[in-house]
Amino acid sequence: MASTLRFSVTFLTLLFSLWVVEVHTSRKLISIKEEEDQTISHLLKDGEFDDPSLYMFFRINDLKYDLKSGSKLPIFFNKDDPQKLPPLITRQEADLIPFTTSKLDFLLSHFSISKDSPQGKAMKETLERCNYKPMEGQLKFCGTSLESMLDLVKETIGSNADLKVMTTKVTVPTQNTVSYALHNYTFVEAPKELFGVKMLGCHRMPYPYAVYYCHGHKSGSRVFEVNLVSDNGRQRVVGPAVCHMDTSMWNTDHVAFKVLKIEPGTAPVCHFFPLDNIVWLTK
């Protein structure tokens, strides 16, 4: 067992480079009070967001499909370089590695990461976030392998039979290449609301191997399937979107409020999902 762990750790350390930067888009979508304070002022430059990954949020009124006055939504869909993403490991491998804040020092030394480096801080944050107890009405857990994520999803929102998975997909006509940049999008058709579904959104967290933070709420969210086209007509995006109807319990400093220029609890916060997120749905 010890030698297997050593093997996994060496293997992971080799692959371990830019994961802190690569997975940071997802972190913006993790709401609620447990979110650490964030400094926002540096995000705005010349009235535009300096960080394009903030272009994920929208207002519920923007969901209108209206050819004449339909909203143009600036959205940034980014594709992370798979070479730079933390690797997925199997459940057998994951089960050999402790995953708790109390083992942080051990984990840092095994992954040869210094406590004060950005990676070390990100590891600590990920462990802390994963170790929090869910708040009242909140569903949450972390999956350290695809197998454990699937089991936890089934335990949390449903059985095998009716589980569906959704991800965001970007497509282009054959003669074009996808441009993962900020584009203005409009709806191709009316967003389809998926009524009465339970949803869990799973976001990748910064960690030396793939860790998914999955969360949802027992009530208070509306889920949609959207179909968008960029204003140059070249790029289509199909995927899930969610509107959190009650944001009164969210951290006042959550980036969504700055992007949408609203106060907590005054209006729903809606967002699309980065391409590497996994959305689970069940009736």
Ligand X SMILES: *[C@@H]1O[C@H](CO)[C@@H](O)[C@H](O)[C@H]1NC(C)=O
Answer yes or no whether residue 54 interacts with ligand X by CB under 6 A.
no
User: What is the residue type of 78?
Assistant: N
- Helix or strand or coil: residue 71? coil
Q: How far is the CB of 231 from ligand X (least distance, A)?
A: 6
- Chain residue whose CB lies nearest ligand X: 184
Residue closer to ligand X by CB (options 38, 71) is: 71
| Interaction mask 170-209, ligand X, x per CB under 6 A | ------------xxx-------------------------
Indicate the SS3 state at residue 7. helix
Tell me which long-range contacts 90-98 makes (C-beta under 8 A, separation of at least 24). 90/145, 90/147, 91/145, 91/146, 91/147, 91/148, 93/4, 93/8, 93/145, 94/144, 94/145, 94/148, 94/209, 96/1, 96/4, 96/5, 96/8, 97/5, 97/8, 97/9, 97/144, 97/209
- Helix count (H) and strand count (E) of the chain? 8, 15
Q: How far is the CB of 46 from ligand X (least distance, A)?
A: 12
Q: Which of 34, 35, 74, 275 binds ligand X (CB under 6 A)?
A: 74
Nearer residue to ligand X within complex by CB, 72 or 115: 72
Query: CB 275 → ligand X: shortest distance, Å?
Result: 18
Q: Which of residues 85-144 bind ligand X (CB under 6 A)?
A: none
Shorter beta-carbon distance to ligand X: residue 73 or 157: 73
Q: Which residues bind ligand X (CB under 6 A)?
A: 72, 74, 182-184
